[in-house]
Amino acid sequence: MSFPLLTATAALPAVGAIATAAVPAARRTAAKWLALLVSLATLVLAAVVLLRFDPGGARYQLTESHAWISDFGVRYELGVDGIGAALMALTALLVPFVIGAGWHDADAVEGERPHSRWRPTQGFFALILAVEAMVLISFAATDVFLFYVFFEAMLIPMYFLIGGFGDRAHAAGEEEGAKQRSYAAVKFLLYNLAGGLVMLAAVIGLYVVSADSLGEGTFSLPELLKARASGDLTMSATTERLLFCGFFVAFAIKAPLWPLHTWLPNAMGEATAPVAVLITAVVDKVGTFAMLRFCLGLFPNASDWATPVVLGLALVSVLYGALLAVGQRDIKRLVAYASISHFGFIILGVFAMTSQGQGGATLYMVFHGISTAALMLVAGFLISRRGSRLIADYGGVQKVAPVLAGAFLVGGLATLSLPGLAPFVSEFLVLVGTFSRYPVAGIIATAGIILAALYVLVLYQRTMTGPVRKPEIEGMPDLKVREVAVVAPLVALLLLLGVFPRPLTEIVNPAVEHTLSDVQKKDPKPQHPVAEPAGWFDYKPAGHGGGDHE
């Protein structure tokens, strides 16, 4: 029996969460180091998953399958395709930076209850590791019911991270801040629980349909896809559309997609910066990932039927999120609305039904996670120094903290997809893939690029440039060694992947081809023939008498 690598990768942070929570109350620093070491060990395992994945191999690799609830056809079944492997690597990559950036975030909570037996520091880092474990197994689950369990379970630790360990830099005072944190946490929970209940009904409906068609109900995604492709699994158009909607609503809330997005600005605004990164760069990716894996794979005809509406909603998200980001006065809410715009791009690429669009959407998930982490974590360092999230309370920071300002600029430029930085590659592919099939949608989406440049550059100008307008800014320290250690690798990755994304595209592209095959789509052919090159510039594609080319 081969080593259960996927289980080990997800189980390590789960065990680490329990161990961290059990650290004695007086050993807060030990709990922090334990959580960091566990996250780094998880990163090593996730890197092994990525390295062992063979792009030319089977669709799902490193598979595991064990009986769980046999009476209902539920199995503990794991396997990754290229998309799942890439997102597992992203998750494992970001969590050490989240822990490093949030090193002192629980200290304020400790100070609120100096004589309490409750151990906020241990609890804070244990909850982060618990979220990591649940997200990792969500990216690997190939049993629909198993995926649903962890899709919902991750809401519990996130609820406590937002409500119990939220941002203390609140302009209205601690009492009002506590109310806002509680409101944001409850809103996050209720929205996502509502979507989960709709999905549960669809999961049960899928089981009933599979039992009617196959004689025995199953939740196994590979079995369902195989039966769907062979024609053994059949369902009426109405049934397929209802099941698609049940899954899609849950994923659209998690993503989030307009108009189901309203929980995100509250949650990111009231959470600490590292937890905000966990929300938008890690947890929300489960929604867009699941659209590719489940909606398009299981319900291809319904996906095609819903595409015009989904594209319309995605375009609204792109423009709406960007416009509201332009008008924000709160730094963290600005990043939240920018993320809504970016998720609109991702969903646009998913439902463009082209290899460029879906490949770009997958890369966008990874690169958005890195760029948003860089920008939000630097913003968190800035806010912790000044004690305010309001843009108007800053100005001239680059004069007193040039390294912080420089890192903030790189994170912002990556957010607006500047050429040479990683998000440019993914956004370009999404727009090309969308334009090739839906040119009007592609043209409208480009307006989001212009608005992104506006809100990012205005944010930088108001906070970093000009004279020092506030006395609190004059003595602001620059980034410390720990903070540089958090930001520098993210900046390096943005630069490296911006000029050399090929290792990631080679892993992702085969999975995209499988998804397009599920929905029976091919890339549109160019409307105008391309003239043959003449003279010594001639070359022939591989298989036509010429040399290999890329």
The confidence band for 107, taking pLDDT boundaries of 50, 70 and 90, is: confident
DSSP class of 292: I
Mean pLDDT of 529-534: 52
Q: Where are the domains of the chain?
A: 5-537
Own/partner pairs, 312-315, CB within 8 angstroms, 24+ separation: 313/252, 313/257, 313/258, 313/259, 313/347, 314/257, 314/344, 314/345, 314/347, 314/348, 314/351, 315/344, 315/348, 315/441, 315/444, 315/445
Check residue 549 and give its pLDDT.
38
Is 364 within 8 Å of 428 (Cβ atoms)? no
The answer to whether the CB of 78 falls within 8 A of the CB of 139 is: no
> Which range has the worst mean pLDDT, 201-210, 336-345, 541-550?
541-550
Residue 527 has pLDDT above 90, yes or no: no
pTM for the model stands at: 0.89
The Cα 145–Cα 247 span in angstroms is 12
> Residue 278's closest CA among 110, 414, 162, 107?
162
Q: How many beta carbons lie within 10 A of that of residue 3, not counting itself?
A: 10
Range list of H helices, 235-354 = 237-254, 263-270, 273-277, 285-290, 296-298, 300-326, 331-351
pLDDT at residue 71 above 90? no
* Residue 118 pLDDT exceeds 80: no
Phi/psi at 299 (5° precision): -130, 65
Q: What is the pLDDT of residue 2?
A: 79
DSSP-assigned letter for residue 390: B
What pLDDT, in 10s, does the model give residues 154-177?
999 999 999 888 776 665 566 777
Tell me the residue type at 24: P
Work out the average pLDDT over 348-370.
Answer: 92
Least confident of 75-89, 253-267, 404-418, 462-476: 462-476
Residue 114: pLDDT above 80? Answer: no
- Mean pLDDT of all residues belonging to the chain: 87
Specify whether the CB–CB gap between 188 and 266 falls below 8 A: yes
Res 543: pLDDT: 42
Half-sphere CA count of 281, side-chain side, radius 13 A: 31
- Residue owning tokens 């090159």: 533
Segment 271-290 shows an average pLDDT of: 92
| Separation of alpha carbons 191 and 458, rounded Å | 32
H-only helix segments in 215-256: 221-230, 237-254
